[in-house]
With several copies, the nearest count.
Chain A
Amino acid sequence: MSEKDNLTNLINVIVDGDEIQASSIAKKALDSGLDYKAILNEGIIKACEEIGQLYEKEEYFLADMLISADALKAAMKVLKPAMEQASEKSPGKILIGTVEGDVHDIGKSLVTSLLQGQGYDVIDLGSEVPPETFAQKALEDNPDIIGLSGLLTVSISKMRETIALLKEKRIDSKIIIGGGVVSKAACVLIGADDCAKDGWEGVKKINRIISSKGGGVV
């Protein structure tokens, strides 16, 4: 098979959400001498873009994206050693969590998987994360972006409190809030840099922020 066929195959199995195939094709491509950068840019990132397009065309839904994201992660896992050997930095560091008092984490799970699948360094704090934990971890890890997730309307309050604490601690990571409840108005009100109504929008906006910072998906 040609190099191109190999990558097309990789894209297809990722989009189809086939974890096992994604892992094995990525391995085959690496073994065949293909540079990890090519696999990443021409395979994995393209697959991610295609998943997003399908979602936007309403051919893909949350379920499909979650499964594709798993395949994305499986392929990425294969590339990791080669990337580390080449001292390739991750495109960005993201700290993410569902705010205190909210146990919902489906949107956050999707964002985490898709970002990890693109090679981001994602620190997932889980759900019910107190403001102090966000602040402490942000000081320790100095992330590019902090993502606050929440489904409940009550979470707006807690997001505002968390952001206030982050600013008090002079943490200058970009802050993006996500969840069905957030609106542009709420975003401005509570001092976030941006907001996303669903996981895919979150991923797109994170990619955009990272690119504008000169980093971005490799």
Chain B
Amino acid sequence: MPHDWVKSALRLMNAMAGKTKKVDRVPYFALINEQMLCRVAGVTVKEMLSSPEIYAKAVIGSYEFLEADTIQIPTSYAGPGEALAFAESNDKLDTIRWYDYKPLSIIQGAVCKTEEDIDKLEIPDHSKSSIWKVSTEAANIVNEKTKFPQMFGLGIWSVVQELRGVQAFKDMRKNPELLLKLCEKVYESQLDVFKFWTEKVGFSPMIMLTGYSFNKHMMSFDDAMKFEGQFIKRLQEKTKVPFIFHNCGTSPYFMEACKEIEFAAVNGSHPLDLDYWIKFKESYPNVTIMGANIDVSREMLTGTPQDVEEKVRDNIIALAPGGRYVCSPVCCLPWGVPLGNIMAIPRALEKYGQYPLKIQ
């Protein structure tokens, strides 16, 4: 049976709007990165990124195989891909690492080692960036074949950390102005790549924002607001689309961030138990929870399909009433997680996630 992407899009939209009467079951948001595409489509990362057609085919095949209700290409996110674009446009190709079956990445801190590197850092010309070329072309193919609107992703701290590495944290205390200068350049570049994406692929109905600094293990909430939050607000003013706030750190500032910045949804969970999310739902009834506590490095990694099924059921009982809950394992589905456990998620959604909910 071919996958009905229009149905998936409506399921997601209505669930996020809390219109459970119009939703047949809890939607499934899968954050699939290059590794999972490699596993399902059987291609190498280089193969995928060598051709928009191969890339798009791998993406469509994988999302349909995994029975997800969302589809996006992993590099439609200005995180590591942006760091690569910076490396490309600043003649630091030697900082890039390729792997057969893992996302490519750059050596942390190698692009902006010195103060001078930051001063001289060029904003990438995204129309010349090889990674953005293949990403936008692949997204266009996915768009055309599925009619599922292609979502774009932004993030400030993710890129800052890739470019400046551990030094970024020291700058925070020793030279905050320098660090803010880097943040500002990353912000500019994010706006530019968003513009480029919009021109090439079309309007992104939502933006997935990876607020990686919003995590207690990274920094204080005040610092997160200073070095990322203020830029998020500016991004929102410029892009004017709803933001999904993503963080898969171990102690994310979800509640705190939602007080300061308006988000349509939060996506994250790593170590947070259901009580946190129940409280979150009470505090922010209009913010959709995507993910809750199905943890890729715990039950999905070490448990059985039955364990995963139970976890999905518990999440549904706690969070699905009234809608505004989207099931999603957190974070990306990595090597080590057996496919049997991954496929247990759509199975469990069919079993327990039908609206009106039978289990509560």
Report if A and B associate in a common complex.
yes
**0/1 string, A144-170, CB within 8 A of B gives 1:** 000000001110111011001100100
Contacting A62 at CB < 8 Å: which of B165, B219, B301, B336? B219
Q: Name A199's closest neighbour in chain B (CB-CB).
A: B217
Q: Name B301's closest neighbour in chain A (CB-CB).
A: A186
Contact A106:B105 (CB < 8 A) given known A61-B218, A153-B331: no
Residues of chain B with a CB closer than 8 A to A67's CB: 170, 173-174
Q: How far is the CA of A152 from the CA of B336 in the complex (A)?
A: 12
Q: Are A161 and B298 in contact (CB under 8 A)?
A: no
Within 8 A of A (CB), among B284-338: 295-299, 301-302, 331-332, 334-336
Q: Are B47 and A64 in contact (CB under 8 A)?
A: no
Q: Are B173 and A186 in contact (CB under 8 A)?
A: no
Q: Are B169 and A189 in contact (CB under 8 A)?
A: no
Give the total of B residues in contact with A, Cβ under 8 Å: 47
Residues of chain A with a CB closer than 8 A to B106's CB: 103
Q: Is A1 an interface residue (CB 8 A)?
A: no
Contact A64:B173 (CB < 8 A) given known A157-B47, A181-B297, A186-B302: yes
Residues of chain A with a CB closer than 8 A to B249's CB: 180
Give the total of A residues in contact with B, Cβ under 8 Å: 40
Q: Are A128 and B97 in contact (CB under 8 A)?
A: yes
- Of A17, A70, A109, A168, most B-chain CB atoms within 10 Å: A109
Q: Name A167's closest neighbour in chain B (CB-CB).
A: B50
Q: How far is the CA of A185 from the CA of B311 in the complex (A)?
A: 16
**0/1 string, B35-69, CB within 8 A of A gives 1:** 10000001110110011001000000000000000
Contact A156:B170 (CB < 8 A) given known A105-B108, A168-B50, A183-B295: no
Q: How far is the CA of A188 from the CA of B173 in the complex (A)?
A: 38
Q: Are A106 and B161 in contact (CB under 8 A)?
A: yes
Residues of chain A with a CB closer than 8 A to B301's CB: 156, 183, 185-186, 189
Contacting A180 at CB < 8 Å: which of B169, B223, B270? B270
Residues of chain B with a CB closer than 8 A to A198's CB: 217, 250
Residues of chain A with a CB closer than 8 A to B170's CB: 63, 66-67, 70
Q: Is B220 an interface residue (CB 8 A)?
A: yes
Q: Is B255 an interface residue (CB 8 A)?
A: no
Q: Are B166 and A154 in contact (CB under 8 A)?
A: no
Q: Are A160 and B47 in contact (CB under 8 A)?
A: yes
Residues of chain A with a CB closer than 8 A to B223's CB: 61, 63
Q: Are A183 and B297 in contact (CB under 8 A)?
A: yes
Residues of chain B with a CB closer than 8 A to A64's CB: 173
Q: How far is the CA of A104 from the CA of B158 in the complex (A)?
A: 12
Contact A165:B108 (CB < 8 A) given known A63-B223, A66-B166, A181-B297: no
Residues of chain B with a CB closer than 8 A to A153's CB: 296-297, 331-332, 334-336
Within 8 A of A (CB), among B81-97: 97
Q: Are A103 and B335 in contact (CB under 8 A)?
A: no
Within 8 A of B (CB), among A69-104: 70, 101, 103-104
Q: How far is the CA of A154 from the CA of B173 in the complex (A)?
A: 32
Residues of chain A with a CB closer than 8 A to B174's CB: 67
Q: How far is the CA of A154 from the CA of B333 in the complex (A)?
A: 9
Q: Is B99 an interface residue (CB 8 A)?
A: yes
Write the nearest CB–CB distance from B254 to chain A, whole angstroms. Answer: 16
Within 8 A of A (CB), among B246-289: 248-250, 270-271
Q: Is B6 an interface residue (CB 8 A)?
A: no
- Of A105, A128, A157, most B-chain CB atoms within 10 Å: A157
Residues of chain B with a CB closer than 8 A to A197's CB: 217, 250, 271
Q: Are B217 and A157 in contact (CB under 8 A)?
A: no
Q: Is A58 an interface residue (CB 8 A)?
A: yes
Q: Is A115 an interface residue (CB 8 A)?
A: no
Q: Is B102 an interface residue (CB 8 A)?
A: yes
Q: Is B172 an interface residue (CB 8 A)?
A: yes
Q: How far is the CA of A131 from the CA of B97 in the complex (A)?
A: 15
Q: How far is the CA of A210 from the CA of B161 in the complex (A)?
A: 32
Q: How far is the CA of A153 from the CA of B34 in the complex (A)?
A: 12
Residues of chain B with a CB closer than 8 A to A101's CB: 99, 102
Q: Name A128's closest neighbour in chain B (CB-CB).
A: B97
Contacting A161 at CB < 8 Å: which of B35, B44, B297? B44
**0/1 string, B88-122, CB within 8 A of A gives 1:** 00000000010100100111100000000000000
Could you list 17 further interchain pairs (A-B, Cβ under 8 angstroms) beyond the known A106-B169, A157-B335, A183-B271?
A: A17-B173, A61-B219, A62-B219, A63-B173, A66-B166, A66-B169, A67-B170, A67-B174, A103-B107, A106-B165, A127-B107, A153-B297, A154-B334, A154-B335, A164-B50, A180-B250, A185-B302
A residues apposed to B, CB below 8 Å? 17, 58, 61-64, 66-67, 70, 101, 103-106, 109-110, 127-128, 131, 152-154, 156-158, 160-161, 164-165, 168, 180-183, 185-186, 188-189, 197-198
